[in-house]
């Protein structure tokens, strides 16, 4: 039997916005999240991403979503891989596109938007917004402060109903 390999997430919550925000102009762009399909594979170049999203797409237990702006759905701002479990949603991977990382990033709010979407999926599936994930040790405090996530022990963290509702209402108005 193969040992399960858990990836510790290392996304940064730079700002909780109500969409995504241009770092230079402050202009806000409406976003949309689509389920990634095998046809979208061509949009994902391995050199542009830290994780192997092609492999993630092949995992039948997981759903991969892409975040884009409504006015430019061909440019992926970030990707999210989640799995529905018995009573919650588990975030396996979350990654901002390379142009949304570091000090010269183009947009703020990408990671927060994707976490809010995971919470929304959890709520829609009847899991009361509960979302779990494994965090890198160095980022546990960051997630506690920025997302109000709860440290469960080890690397495991979760987002409860109250926090999920706040994130959902911030990013998803309808």
In CATH, what class is 20-171? alpha beta
pLDDT of res. 117: 97
Nearest CA to 64 among 51, 75, 74?
51
Q: Which residues in 10-57 belong to E strands, given as ranges?
A: 20-22, 28-29, 31-35
pLDDT of res. 6: 62
pLDDT of res. 38: 77
Q: What is the DSSP letter of 7?
A: P
- Domain residue limits, the chain: 20-171
What is the full per-residue pLDDT of the chain (174 aa) written as tens digits?
344 556 776 677 777 778 899 999 999 999 999 999 877 778 888 888 999 999 999 999 999 999 999 999 989 999 999 999 999 999 999 999 999 999 999 999 999 999 999 999 999 999 999 999 999 999 999 999 999 999 999 999 999 999 999 999 999 876
CB burial class (10 A; 0-12, 13-18, 19+) of residue 165?
A: middle
Rounded to whole angstroms, the maximal C-alpha distance in the chain is 52
- pTM: predicted TM-score of the whole model, two decimal places: 0.92
Nearest CA to 75 among 107, 50, 104?
107
pLDDT of res. 24: 94
- Give residue-wise pLDDT tens across range 115-145: 999 999 999 999 999 999 999 999 999 999 9
pLDDT of res. 3: 46
């Amino acid at each position: 039997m193969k040992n399960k390999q858990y990836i510790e997430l290392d996304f940064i919550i730079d700002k909780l916005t109500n969409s995504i925000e241009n770092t230079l102009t402050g202009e806000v762009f409406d976003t949309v999240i689509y389920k990634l399909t095998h046809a979208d594979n061509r949009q994902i170049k391995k050199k542009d991403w830290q994780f192997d999203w092609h492999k993630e797409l092949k995992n039948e237990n997981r759903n991969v979503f892409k975040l884009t702006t409504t006015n430019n759905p061909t440019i992926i701002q970030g990707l999210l891989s989640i799995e529905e479990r018995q009573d919650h949603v588990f975030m396996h991977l979350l990654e901002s596109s390379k142009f949304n990382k570091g000090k010269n990033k183009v947009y703020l709010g990408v990671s927060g938007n994707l976490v809010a979407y995971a919470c929304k999926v959890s709520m829609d599936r009847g899991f009361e917004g509960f979302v779990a994930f494994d965090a890198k040790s160095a980022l546990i405090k960051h997630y506690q402060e920025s997302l109000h996530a709860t440290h469960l022990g080890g690397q495991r963290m979760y987002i409860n109903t109250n926090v999920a509702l706040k994130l959902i209402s911030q990013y998803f108005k309808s």
